[in-house]
């Protein structure tokens, strides 16, 4: 069922708005939860009341962020049914199963023990409270696991078969859905980013205290622990990022081509470090792809295939087909041209229509059953290109190149900056902020005397959020036009509702979420102003 482009655009805008606001809250919940658990473990071992106050302060920041994340997350899940009902029907029980597990098990676990963590001081034993804090942090990570597994299935629909009798996808291998290569890399990359974000937020807030000459012991200790946790996480983030690039090159070559602004592949493909996309470039003209670029020779081939002379297809190659590639099952295949995929997809759509026209006949006899079986066979043979049957021209299969290209580079540059920043932060916070014996022109390398570092640390907080949003844009805009890779484009997935209604709710959500964000920041700033000694439990 194809609907108007205006409705598709409105639905995408609304869902994108909700998802981007939701992603402002989720990573901090993931990262701050584990930092709080580490700090409370220090309190449990040392019995030092200082660590109790420190844990309680960061728990208050966690609680405010957690509440806002829940509010936006609930709306996000409802939108699958209201704005994307065709998608919800098509995915059957596959998409619902991970979300059901997340709601019943992970979110229930996280919410239950969060209540103990937040309200249980002095009401439960120290050991049980510590256990609850760790379970809250783990619950957030497990919750992310199932949500990201559902999202990864949309990028790489493994462990399923499509039933033409019900027009729904059916799960045949739960573990293939939950732990596909895409799901594993998406989870590890998203969670480690959450750890880095949580660390940078702690360092940034603590740096504000040092600039104000307040709560200096609290600030130095927080920076020290966050620096260690953040640096380890950032190294893991870079590792998972590399693995994610390899996974994208194998399962979503068009996304990789858009990330690199690559139109014509070659052996020994360079990796663009810095560049400006040529807006006049299309997949079928001879314009140069970049107005300016600095590239690493053979870098993309090495990054994706661990081979300096390997071939990486560009956008034009993927549309024209004819090159060899490694299929998910490990076999070598020849890429099918876009035109043939469209033809195959339309055969599958037609076979599905015919199948549903004759399947309800009660007296079809032996010949009728044979025809039904033959129709299903035709459908199964062409199903892998089902989604292409809804497309009219090659341009519809290309993601927004400029948005994907620039978002990817902002994300990578900021990730490199965070690695350097966390190394400096760790070095400067060693020995509880005591000055180094080494001097440079009489200046001591300690936190209180280096206001430049403290200012940069505060600025790094919004930069971390920008990095996270750019990563989301790469993942989701880069896989357009698909809601489910190769099987269901966005123009066949939306609900048959009025575009004006969707635009109206978009404006309502924009005002609501912006108000929620302002309220959250206001409350957090108020808590920061009170400091760890000003919070009463």
* Consecutive 10-residue averages of pLDDT for the chain (537 residues): 73 88 89 94 93 93 88 81 84 78 76 86 91 91 88 89 86 88 91 95 94 89 94 94 89 92 90 91 90 90 86 93 81 90 93 82 61 85 92 92 94 94 88 43 58 92 94 91 90 84 89 91 91 68
- Per the document, the length of the chain is 537
Distance CA 130, CA 59 (A): 12
User: Could you report how far apart the first and last alpha carbons of the chain are, in Å?
Assistant: 56
Q: Where are the domains of the chain?
A: 7-252+401-477+479-528, 256-325, 338-394
Task: Classify residue 114 by its DSSP letter.
Answer: H
Distance CA 336, CA 338 (A): 7
Q: Please state the φ and ψ torsions of residue 364, each to the nearest 5 degrees.
A: -90, -20
**Contact assessment for residue 33 and residue 62, using Cβ atoms and an 8 Å cutoff:** yes
Tokens of 106: 């992970």
Residue 443 has a pLDDT of: 45
**What Cα–Cα distance (Å) separates residue 243 from each residue in 181, 186, 251, 351?**
9, 9, 12, 38
**Contact assessment for residue 137 and residue 33, using Cβ atoms and an 8 Å cutoff:** yes
Distance CA 118, CA 527 (A): 15
Residue 361 has a pLDDT of: 62
**What Cα–Cα distance (Å) separates residue 277 from each residue in 248, 287, 402, 408?**
21, 11, 6, 13
Strands (E), 194-310: 266-267, 271-277, 290-296
Distance CA 126, CA 132 (A): 10
Residue 194 has a pLDDT of: 94
Residue 444 has a pLDDT of: 46
**What Cα–Cα distance (Å) separates residue 52 from each residue in 130, 230, 444?**
11, 21, 31
Q: Is the dihedral of CA 101, 103, 107, 113 positive or negative?
A: negative
Residue 438 has a pLDDT of: 38
């Amino acid at each position: 069922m194809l609907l108007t482009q205006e409705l598709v655009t409105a639905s995408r805008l609304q869902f994108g708005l909700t998802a981007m606001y939701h992603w402002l809250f989720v990573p901090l919940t993931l990262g701050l939860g584990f930092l709080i658990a580490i700090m409370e473990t220090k309190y449990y071992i040392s019995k030092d009341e200082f660590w109790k106050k420190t844990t309680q302060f960061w728990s208050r920041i966690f609680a405010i962020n957690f509440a806002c994340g829940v509010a936006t997350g609930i709306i996000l899940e409802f939108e699958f049914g209201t704005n994307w009902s065709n998608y919800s029907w098509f995915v059957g029980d596959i998409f619902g199963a991970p979300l059901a597990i997340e709601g019943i098990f992970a979110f229930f676990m996280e919410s239950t023990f969060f209540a103990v963590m937040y309200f249980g001081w002095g009401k439960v034993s120290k050991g049980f409270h510590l256990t609850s804090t760790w379970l809250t942090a783990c619950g957030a990570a497990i919750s992310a696991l199932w949500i990201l597994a559902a999202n990864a299935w949309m990028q790489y629909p493994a462990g399923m078969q499509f039933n033409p009798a019900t027009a729904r996808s059916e799960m045949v291998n739960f573990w293939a859905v939950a732990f596909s290569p895409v799901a594993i890399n998406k989870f590890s990359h998203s969670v480690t980013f959450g750890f880095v974000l949580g660390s940078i937020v702690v360092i940034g807030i603590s740096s504000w205290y040092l600039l104000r000459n307040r709560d200096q012991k609290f600030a130095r200790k927080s920076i020290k622990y966050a620096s260690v946790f953040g640096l380890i996480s950032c190294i893991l983030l870079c590792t998972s990022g590399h693995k994610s690039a390899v996974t994208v090159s194998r399962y979503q070559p068009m996304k990789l081509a858009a990330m690199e602004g690559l139109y014509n592949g070659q052996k020994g493909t360079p990796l663009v470090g810095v560049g400006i996309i040529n807006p006049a470039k299309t997949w079928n003209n001879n314009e140069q792809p970049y107005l300016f670029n600095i590239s690493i020779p053979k870098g993309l081939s090495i990054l994706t295939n661990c081979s300096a002379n390997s071939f990486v297809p560009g956008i034009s190659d993927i549309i024209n087909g004819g090159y060899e590639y490694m299929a998910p099952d490990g076999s070598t295949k020849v890429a099918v041209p876009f035109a043939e995929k469209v033809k195959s997809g339309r055969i599958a759509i037609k076979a599905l229509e015919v199948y549903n026209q004759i399947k309800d006949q009660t007296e079809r006899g032996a010949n009728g059953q044979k025809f039904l079986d033959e129709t299903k066979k035709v459908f199964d043979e062409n199903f892998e290109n089902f989604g292409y049957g809804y497309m009219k021209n090659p341009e519809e299969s290309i993601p927004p190149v400029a948005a994907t290209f620039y978002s990817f580079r902002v994300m990578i540059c900021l990730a490199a900056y965070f690695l350097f920043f966390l190394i400096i932060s760790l070095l400067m916070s060693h020995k509880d902020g005591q000055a180094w014996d080494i001097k440079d022109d009489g200046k001591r390398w300690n936190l209180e005397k280096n206001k430049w570092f403290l200012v940069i640390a505060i600025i790094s907080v919004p930069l971390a959020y920008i990095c996270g949003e750019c990563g989301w844009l790469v993942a989701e805009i880069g896989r357009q036009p698909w809601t489910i890779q190769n099987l269901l484009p966005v123009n066949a997935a939306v609900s048959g509702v009025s575009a004006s209604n969707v635009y109206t709710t978009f404006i309502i959500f924009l005002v609501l979420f912006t108000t929620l964000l302002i309220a959250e920041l206001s409350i957090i700033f108020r808590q920061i102003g009170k400091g760890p000694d000003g919070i009463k439990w």
